[in-house]
Amino acid sequence: MINPLPYIKRANDHGYAIPHFNIHNLDNMRAAVESAKKLGSPVILAATPKTIAFSGLECLIAIANSLEKIHNIPVAFHLDHHTDVDSIMKGIDMGIKSVMIDASKHDFEKNVEMTKKIVDYAKGKDVCVEAEIGIIGGVEDNINVAEEDARYSVPEDVVKFAKLTGVDLVAPSFGTAHGIYKKKPILKTEILTEIKKLDSSLLLVLHGGSGLDDEQFIESIQKGVSKVNIGTELKKPMVDGIRNFWKEKPNEYDPRFYVQAGVDNLKKTIEQKINLLGSSFTV
């Protein structure tokens, strides 16, 4: 498992973005890594606390390590939207090199304090730390923010937050939401431009990438995003693949066949996203 930071920095310098895919088990991890291998892209496999409760952290780490070794491409394993400082520290002790502390529901000072705790703990351990500021709407695990309550980040606050905490990556709120969009989101990408004007080296993450159209992805990357998180949008292709398989072969109950049909269909979406983000053939 790699620290993805050098890859994200390179993406920032060259105007593309590194894909972060939310995974749950061997099947979608395999789909992500096999697609990344085919397209020569680094890949971040991200697990929320709920996913870890579902599959077990040790199992997920072992799978990520094995897939990286088998396919010989840069694979990062990322703790996504972790709100508990202790569980992140435990993950770092287990060798995880990419973590997100999400203290965005707290006020600015508390967010700084919690984020700084993780940054300090990660120091000297070759770990990339991400944090969130402003409130990104939608549902991420148990954190549910009504879209109208999502708050846009103030560019000055984002830069101040990064300076005070020393965090590597910041996810600002600029109109994206987690989960499925009820209507097409209106992105305020000028927030990204403003942040970059204030600090061009600050690395920015797009959360809530599912359901954005291709132009919105491209515009966000052009304006300064260098890591893109995609989760919800990967769930349907897997099920669709299995459903279509069963339509043709309703009596087939061997998982090696129906699960593979889901994986194959999921790979199409993943490959399309990697190409869209521009990280193909960069490793």
- By annotation, the residues acting in catalysis are 80
The CB-nearest residue to Zn ion is 207
Q: Is 78 in the site for Zn ion (CB under 5 A)?
A: no
Of 274, 283, 18, the C-alpha closest to 130 is: 18
Query: Please, what is the Cα angle at 137 between 148 and 220, to 5 degrees?
Result: 110
Phi (first) and psi of residue 204, to 5 degrees: -115, 145
Run of H or E residues at 31: helix 26-39
Nearer to Zn ion, 141 or 264 (CB): 141
- The footprint of Zn ion on residues 49-68 (CB under 5 A) is none
Residues 4 and 211 sit within 8 Å (Cβ to Cβ): no
Among 1-9, 84-92, 205-213, 251-259, the segment contacting Zn ion (CB under 5 A): 205-213
Nearer to Zn ion, 137 or 278 (CB): 137
Run of H or E residues at 37: helix 26-39
Site string for Zn ion, 124-153 (x = CB under 5 A): ------------------------------
Q: Is 227 in the site for Zn ion (CB under 5 A)?
A: no
Least distance from C-beta 169 to Zn ion, angstroms?
Answer: 12
Q: Is 207 in the site for Zn ion (CB under 5 A)?
A: yes
Among 27-35, 88-96, 207-215, 245-253, the segment contacting Zn ion (CB under 5 A): 207-215
Residues 192 and 159 sit within 8 Å (Cβ to Cβ): no
Least distance from C-beta 207 to Zn ion, angstroms?
Answer: 3
Least distance from C-beta 254 to Zn ion, angstroms?
Answer: 35
Give the dihedral of Cα atoms 14, 19, 20, 26; nearest 10 deg.
-140
Among 63-71, 90-98, 203-211, 245-253, the segment contacting Zn ion (CB under 5 A): 203-211
- C-alpha 85/C-alpha 108 separation (Å) is 17
Phi (first) and psi of residue 240, to 5 degrees: -60, -40
Interacting residues with Zn ion (CB under 5 A): 207
